[in-house]
A = this chain, B = another copy of it.
């Protein structure tokens, strides 16, 4: 059914999609004819549109309505017809200014960038931070926190800080803790957390042999701390933008499904899954996304890097009828920006 298009067909498709993105209404042949400077009459356009429909790029809600792009239509549009505009100056400036804010902590910064991105795009913005897997440790320390508790604090490349409070019955002296810290840092700095996990297991055998009870305990505690804890953090900003989209407001069921999805970390992670693999932009149109229950949303997302590894991904979630030509460079730019910000932290 779906084939390639000649120049004319492509132009018509492009205009249909453009117009539909703008108006959210079915587009008629008259409109397209005008948009193309009346080089072709509505009747001709109708013929072309009928062809496009046959090829699966357009659809008719009912006989006497205009045409609406299908998922395939949007896909073709994004792949071949999109005007790859550069990001407008003022938007670049705003993003850069935000990224330059020095005082904020890493996760506060991400949240604010995400909010700004959602404002600029009028879509909901989602960020997944995979704190652990990939980022090398800058320091790992243990410190006392009250009578029978110790706190394990890890600082990652990029300024991410993670901590775990652990119950510990037997008390450690200040000296003990200092020794442990020296030992841990020697062991850990430069490793990613998953590497460290492996290293600790390895080391535990050695230490057992050496009969150093204190170090054994330190390793045990660290291993325990590393086992717990969620490996990813998720931020959602600009949920209310979903309500700006007529297609969602008309159908409360869709709205509910989307809002529920935003409340499930795992769903969001799955939505942005592909983007986590690299720094290139990923566009899922409609049912293309991996989540079963959400065939009416598109996701435009990109991973952002920190050194060698992908540190997380940032994306926009909205209706299939999204302004891709605007949104794609926005996300792309923001992802790069995030990466470079964390590089210098």
**Complex-state Cα separation, A2 to B102, whole angstroms:** 56
List residues 72-106 of chain A with CB under 8 A from any CB of chain B. Answer: 102-103, 105-106
Q: Is the CB of B237 within 8 A of A263?
A: yes
**Complex-state Cα separation, A114 to B139, whole angstroms:** 33
Q: A240-B263, A263-B237 are in contact. Are A155 and B145 (CB under 8 A)?
A: yes
29 pairs across A/B with beta carbons < 8 Å?
A102-B167, A103-B228, A105-B165, A106-B165, A139-B143, A139-B145, A139-B151, A143-B143, A145-B155, A145-B161, A146-B155, A149-B159, A151-B153, A151-B161, A153-B153, A155-B165, A159-B165, A161-B163, A161-B165, A163-B163, A174-B182, A178-B178, A239-B259, A239-B262, A240-B256, A240-B259, A240-B260, A240-B263, A249-B252
Annotate A119-155 by CB proximity to B: 1 below 8 A, 0 otherwise.
Answer: 0000000000000000000110101111001010101
Minimum Cβ distance to chain B for residue A309 (Å): 17
Interface size (A, Cβ < 8 Å)? 39
Copies of the protein in its oligomer? 2
Query: Does A294 lie at the interface of the complex (its beta carbon under 8 Å from any beta carbon of B)?
Result: no
Chain B residues positioned under 8 Å from A153 (CB to CB): 143, 151, 153, 163
Chain B residues positioned under 8 Å from A240 (CB to CB): 256, 259-260, 262-263
Chain B residues positioned under 8 Å from A145 (CB to CB): 138-139, 155, 161
**Complex-state Cα separation, A79 to B15, whole angstroms:** 62
Query: Does A319 lie at the interface of the complex (its beta carbon under 8 Å from any beta carbon of B)?
Result: no
**Complex-state Cα separation, A143 to B145, whole angstroms:** 14
Chain B residues positioned under 8 Å from A260 (CB to CB): 240
List 7 tightest A-B contacts by C-beta distance, closest first.
A145-B155, A240-B259, A138-B146, A141-B143, A240-B260, A139-B145, A243-B256
List residues 156-171 of chain A with CB under 8 A from any CB of chain B. Answer: 159, 161, 163-165, 167
Minimum Cβ distance to chain B for residue A102 (Å): 8
Q: Is the CB of B139 within 8 A of A146?
A: yes
Query: Does A238 lie at the interface of the complex (its beta carbon under 8 Å from any beta carbon of B)?
Result: yes
List residues 289-338 of chain A with CB under 8 A from any CB of chain B. Answer: none
Query: Does A255 lie at the interface of the complex (its beta carbon under 8 Å from any beta carbon of B)?
Result: yes
Annotate A253-273 by CB proximity to B: 1 below 8 A, 0 otherwise.
Answer: 001100110110000000000
Annotate A167-181 by CB proximity to B: 1 below 8 A, 0 otherwise.
Answer: 100000010001000
List residues 170-226 of chain A with CB under 8 A from any CB of chain B. Answer: 174, 178, 182
Minimum Cβ distance to chain B for residue A173 (Å): 13
**Complex-state Cα separation, A178 to B182, whole angstroms:** 12
Q: Is the CB of B151 within 8 A of A155?
A: yes
Minimum Cβ distance to chain B for residue A141 (Å): 5
**Complex-state Cα separation, A291 to B262, whole angstroms:** 26
Chain B residues positioned under 8 Å from A139 (CB to CB): 143-146, 151
Minimum Cβ distance to chain B for residue A153 (Å): 6
**Which of the residues B144, B243, B259 comes within 8 Å of A252, measured between beta carbons?**
B243
Known contacts A149-B155, A178-B178, A240-B259; 15 further A-B pairs (Cβ under 8 A): A105-B164, A115-B263, A138-B146, A139-B143, A143-B153, A159-B165, A161-B163, A163-B163, A174-B182, A238-B263, A239-B239, A239-B262, A240-B256, A240-B260, A243-B255
